[in-house]
Chain A
Amino acid sequence: MERAGIQRMALGKAVNAGLRAAMERDPRVLLMGEDIGKLGGVFRVTDGLQKDFGEDRVLDTPLAEAGIVGTALGMSLRGYRPVCEIQFNGFVYPAFNQIVTQLAKMRARTRGRLTVPVVIRMPSGGGIGSVEHHSESPEVLFAHTAGLRVVAPSSAHDAYWMIQQAIACADPVLFLEPERRYWEKGDVDVDLAPGEVAPLHRARVLRTGTDATLVAYGPTVRLALDAAAAAAEDGSDLEVVDLRSISPLDVDTVAESVRRTGRLVVVHEAPTFHGPGAELAARIQERCFYSLEAPVQRVGGFHVPFPAARFEDHYLPDVDRVLDAVEAALAA
């Protein structure tokens, strides 16, 4: 069905369009980051925005991540809504102190008197054959920090809407963009009314199935869908849930699915050790232990530093590893 508001665009372009929409709607939305102005960002996500909104609203900052987040916090106290770009996932750590000790805690520290609506965008995950610190999945570090929200769009449509929702949110939000999916095109319905947009922290069932539930977010959603398609050829009917949000977690949607399928496989690029899959497994067994027909399976990165590019295919979950996990779940 053709709708007027449907635009086909790459995920990175969708973030750009979402940022533009937010900036047009609210003059207090600012972008801050390294090389985001004239260059448009190393992934070109902010392409053209400085030209259209000026240097006061799209700031090419000094090369200092703590500075980006710390000054963004200060500007938010003055009523601004800064959106920070961290150039690569592994470069967020210099800002870790500001994120964890200041941004996350400011509201609790002041018992609700100060809110700090700062968004921190960063490319996340691997798969682009890059050098060290460019392929990490640091979501758990932030999800484990109370006061932060962590979301991860997997599609152009979600990228467009979720960045606007993150900017509108009164809490600080870590916005993880799947870097290897920046160029994947999808349909974006840009004409949705506010009530028609899925809530920021609601998981979404992308494919219904009866035999097992595959849960993924960000870059592994495409992988989960591919695995489900491959499994279908072998006669297994898998349900795929896009988690969309890591903090908070929409456990309800996953539990509802698992009650029907009886089996759960969680797929992410972050290490499985103390990873989101572990949290989800624990919560699911609390909620629907007697619906589970098999142990929860987890597929993710290993508990080793992200390897050099030539090895990343061995580190990152792929269809075979997902199907192995599905097989184990179905065999139990």
Chain B
Amino acid sequence: MSALFLQQVLNGLLDGVYYLLIALGLSLIFSLGGIVNLAHGAFYAIGAYLTVVLARFIDFGGALVVAPVGVALIGIVIERFLFRRFYREDPILSLLLTFGLALVAEQTLRIIFGAPPLSFAIPQALRGQVFIGDFIYSFYRTILLAIAVGCIVGLWFLLHRTAFGRVVRAGVQNPDMVGALGISLEPYMAAVAGLGIGLAGLAGVLLAPIYSIHPAMGQEIITPAFVVVVIGGLGSFWGVVVAALLVGLAKGLMVAAGYAQFSTAAIYGLMLLVLLFRPRGLFGERIQRFE
């Protein structure tokens, strides 16, 4: 295996981690509330725009903390006043709602900031490259990766090692039973929406220095993230993780092999394959209400 190929494999896997930040929230909100949040990409875009605005006052480091929290708060408000009305409705209604939200958010960004991309660069202190032998990687991306992995591990602990997580996971499996036990899922749902949407906001902050910041940037990331959720399977944390890495890898390897033009198509091919053999996704659990 050549060094370049190995680099491409690693780079593809790391690429998948960005999708993961978006896909985990998407999956959580879908699993618990049955809402396919088509506006998830919009929150990613809002995170990036907030970063550009905030960085003028509190630097990138400050924006890294404040922007995701701001986006999470927007998420909680939207859950409280919009999502909550649709948990019991036909899913087509919540699809329409979140689709509309995505359009409104994108157009709002366009009205406020204009359609041309906003100028933003990696802070001076985080520039440079890391060399390990012949392997090269951007220093900024190592920081990005560390933060993203930290968040993902934190989320896992929250979901699998705390009382909060137990209720959320029970809610995914059987919300009626949770209700019968006298636990109201409403505050949990708000927290999950805040968490999931906050993670999308965080992805926006982290990618703002290296991606073009434009109103439709959310659309670029929502489709692969959606594919990740489908491949990973509902209700499975690790399913989403593995799927995100696979999607990153599939894209990266297509480029590495010289078939860059098929790199986007490759992830749909992967989805097709997985659904053919495992209709619930790689590690999807059997969830009564989704069957």
Same complex for A and B? Answer no
Interface residues of A (CB under 8 A from B): none
Residues of chain B having any CB pair with chain A under 8 Å = none
